Amino acid sequence: MMLANYIGAIALIVIGFYAMIAKHDIIKIVVGMGLTDYGLNLMIVSIGFNEGGTAPIFTFGELVSGMYFVDPVPQALTLTSIVIGACVTAMALALCVRIYNEYGTVDSREIRRLHG
C-alpha cells in the first residue's frame, strides 16, 4: 500500500523536474517547482505512516492498549514544508509577473540577459 505512495511521490518529483527542465514557459517552471514540492510532502508523510495507526492526537478515553499512532513528526515537517512551498511559489509567481512586465515574455529562452 505504501509502495503506491512512494511511486506517486517519486513520479511527482520526476514530473516536476521534467517541467523545470523541458518547459520554457516560466509559469510552467513554477508549476514544476510546486509539483516537486508536493511529491516531497507526500514522501515525507508516507515515511511517517504506520499501517493501521490512528491520528497522533490524544482524545479522552479512547486510548486502548495495542493501539498506536502514525509518527507525528513527519506530519509536522510536512506542514512546515507546505508553508514554505507556498511561500516559494508566491515569490516565484510575483517575480514572474515582474519579469513579464520587463521582458514582455514568459519564455525562459528569451529571459537571458545574464549569460556567459
Partner 1 sequence: MTYDVYMHFPVIAIMTLFVGAFLVTLVGKRQAARNAIAGAAVLVSLTLLALLIKPVMVDGEIIMYWMGNWEPVEGYAIGIAIEVDALSLFFGLLITIAVACSAFYSFQYIKQDDARGSFFTLYLMLSGGVLGIVLSGDLFNIYVMLEVMTFAAVGLTAFRTWNPNAREAAFKYLVVGSIGSTCALLGTALVYAQCHTLNLAQISAILPGELNPTTVLAFALLFTGFGCKSFMFPFHPIAADAHGAAPSSVSVLISGVFTKTGVYGIIRVCYFLFRSMGLSSVQIMLVVIGCISMFVCVTMALNQHDFKRLLAFHSISQIGYILTSLGLCTGLGIAGGLYHAINHTLFKGLLFLTAGSVLYATGTTYLENLGGLAKKMPKTTALFLIGAFSISGIPPFNGFYSKWIIYQATFEKAAETGSIGYALVTVVCVVTSVLTLASFIKVGHSVFFGQLRPELAEAKDPPLGMRIPMWILGGLCVFTGLFPNVMLDYIIIPATGAVFNAVPYIDTAMGEGYAAAHLASTSPFVTPNYTLLGGWDPLAWLVLFVVVLAAVFLCSLAGRSNRDVNCAPDSKHAVFFGGEEAQYSHISGGDLFWGFKHTMRRYLGFVSGAHTGVTNDYVLWGVTATAVIIAYCFAFML
Interface residue list for partner 1 (CB under 8 A): 13, 17, 20-24, 26, 29-30, 33, 36-37, 40, 43-44, 47, 71, 73-74, 77, 80-81, 84, 87-88, 91-92, 95-96, 98-99, 102-103, 108-109, 111-116
When the beta carbons of 61 and 109 are compared against partner 1, the nearer one is 109
Reduced to 3 states (helix: H, G, I; strand: E, B; else coil), residue 59 is coil
From the number of C-beta atoms within 10 Å of its C-beta (0-12, 13-18, 19+), residue 89 rates as middle
What single-letter amino acid sits at 23? K
- Say if CB 46 and CB 55 are below 8 A apart: no
**Distance of closest approach, residue 40 Cβ to partner 1, in angstroms:** 6
**Distance of closest approach, residue 11 Cβ to partner 1, in angstroms:** 14
When the beta carbons of 57 and 61 are compared against partner 1, the nearer one is 57
Q: Comparing C-alpha atoms, which of 61, 46, 68 is closest to residue 1?
A: 46
When the beta carbons of 61 and 110 are compared against partner 1, the nearer one is 110
Reduced to 3 states (helix: H, G, I; strand: E, B; else coil), residue 40 is helix
